[in-house]
A and B are shown apart, each in its own frame.
Chain A
């Protein structure tokens, strides 16, 4: 979005006042509903707030952060957050792009794919997590368990064993959100200029060359945006994992988000939970900063 809009001409004091009057209600609500709780979160991360032991409450300075630094479960959660985010975003882009390219080629019935792709997107993540936990992955009764066994493989306890549980929550997230990448990339593909392809065809470029040298560069802005949006969402993913594994077994699928939640609401240690949430906030800001920086840097490089 360009923020440099506005009319040319003289200075309009009345317009400025009017613009402020239109914006301020929204901004004030945002300050009260978002910024104030965030400041409260940062404040409570320097406190001991434990609803199970209220007599210990009080200001503790950076104790929570020192504890975090030496907390193996925290570093484990960071590692899982990285694995979860990178693998699910990569899978979404690869599968979504592949599907979009495939569907662009079919002569009829593209609308069926568009309709079906909307379905996972509009479902509540908690319902998706529950469906997968029960109908798909449950041992002995789940559909996937049945398929795996009928293909002659050994039974896998998808949500009950550490590595399969992590793979499962990544697959669930990928299942739900690949359609997002698919739909955005399909729309971008459909809007690409055809004359470039004609020129390439005349130059006798083969399909792979056309994809690599024409389609991919033209799609890059859309891909980058999908990566940014999906990475932010992956970092904040909660409901589907919570419903499918609850972060378990043990801490096998406990990304940082779930660790902060469980520390606060199950162990009732709000001070330490706040510090964990602040660390997630910082990670989110750093990752989005890097992604946005790469995006503008590339754009500038392209403009030169």
Chain B
């Protein structure tokens, strides 16, 4: 090993050490949440905080089946996020196709309008929605909530899908048109199969955002529609000190999005960048 190689090795080791240390600090809150979730409530209050203790899984059992069960909220979140995703995709994919590929009258203004709706701060919507849904008697209902969730999912989905639609080649559509395939058949059989990847990324983003939504849910939901985010918040405001149970319940509540995040890590980063390059992206 000559000096040059040795210098490079030293440099790499130092870089890895620095990067590793930063990584550890960054992820520490999550590691700590996991550690606390394995403690008893008495152990949580030990100071200095204990690192070595007898781990127990009782908190997880409680989070699922005990007095603090979040199973109902998990179900609510699943229904809300799924319904929002399905309706959004059904509306966004055809619209994005027209924006990206077809002669659409008023394309510029419609595109700008869609982008502008994406900029609306949620607090500007939760106030009127409270009054409107209250008048219709739609507070704390699934349909009311899904309507509200469309406000952030639909503009984002249209813009993300436009970016993916623009990337597919023209040739197959041209061929289909020559074959006198109807326009709808072309969209369904030729275009959509080519943007499956883009649809998958869009689905992931809508689902994550709907699952994690809190502002609308806490104010426009209630006893019937109480997704996991609100359940977590109520947990702390009511049971101030049950941190071990909170940690376990929160980790269970976040498990679906964490699994999706890790499994679809590449696609999410691509979606962030597509959105970033083309101008969309919002959480």
Contact = CB atoms under 8 A, between A and B. Distances in A.
Contacts of B111: 1, 3
A281 interface: yes
A7 interface: yes
Contact of B268 (A6, A109, A118, A273): A118
A26 B15 contact: no
B257 A122 contact: yes
A281 B127 contact: no
A130 B97 CA distance: 41
Nearest to B242: A134
A273 B128 CA distance: 10
B183 interface: yes
Contact of A273 (B103, B127, B213, B232): B127
A146 B48 contact: yes
Contacts of A187: 269-270, 272-273
Interface string A22-63: 110111011001110110110010000100000000000000
B211 interface: yes
A127 B36 contact: no
B29 A175 contact: yes
Interface in A274-289: 274, 277-278, 280-281, 284-285, 288
Contact count band on B = 35 or more
Interface in B29-62: 29-30, 32-33, 36, 44-45, 47-49
Contacts of B269: 114, 118, 183-184, 187
Interface residues of A, number: 98
A26 B158 contact: yes
Contacts of B23: 112-113, 116
B48 A33 contact: no
Contacts of B44: 141
A264 B246 CA distance: 29
Interface in B106-148: 107-108, 110-111, 113-114, 117, 119-132, 147-148
A132 B107 CA distance: 45
Contacts of A264: 126-127, 130
A119 B283 CA distance: 15
Given A126-B232, A127-B253, A238-B214, A150 B154 contact: no
B260 to A, nearest CB: 7
B201 interface: no
B251 to A, nearest CB: 9
A236 to B, nearest CB: 4
Contact of B265 (A12, A115, A150, A242): A115
Given A6-B103, A135-B32, A270-B131, A261 B113 contact: no
Given A25-B94, A109-B16, A235-B121, A33 B148 contact: yes
A67 B18 CA distance: 53
B192 interface: no
20 contacts: A1-B111, A1-B162, A5-B166, A15-B102, A15-B103, A16-B102, A18-B184, A29-B154, A34-B151, A107-B16, A116-B23, A123-B258, A126-B232, A127-B250, A134-B246, A135-B33, A135-B247, A143-B29, A179-B26, A284-B121
Given A124-B257, A265-B130, 17 more contacts: A7-B103, A16-B103, A19-B103, A27-B113, A30-B155, A49-B131, A119-B30, A122-B212, A124-B229, A130-B233, A131-B250, A143-B32, A183-B269, A183-B272, A184-B272, A238-B214, A238-B215
User: 7 smallest A-B Cβ distances: which pairs?
Assistant: A122-B261, A124-B212, A26-B95, A19-B102, A22-B94, A239-B214, A19-B104
Interface of B: 12, 15-16, 18-19, 22-23, 26-30, 32-33, 36, 44-45, 47-49, 91-92, 94-95, 97-105, 107-108, 110-111, 113-114, 117, 119-132, 147-148, 150-151, 154-155, 158-159, 162-163, 166, 170, 183-184, 187, 208, 211-215, 219, 228-229, 232-233, 236, 243, 246-247, 250, 253-254, 257-258, 260-262, 265, 268-270, 272-273, 275-279, 281-283
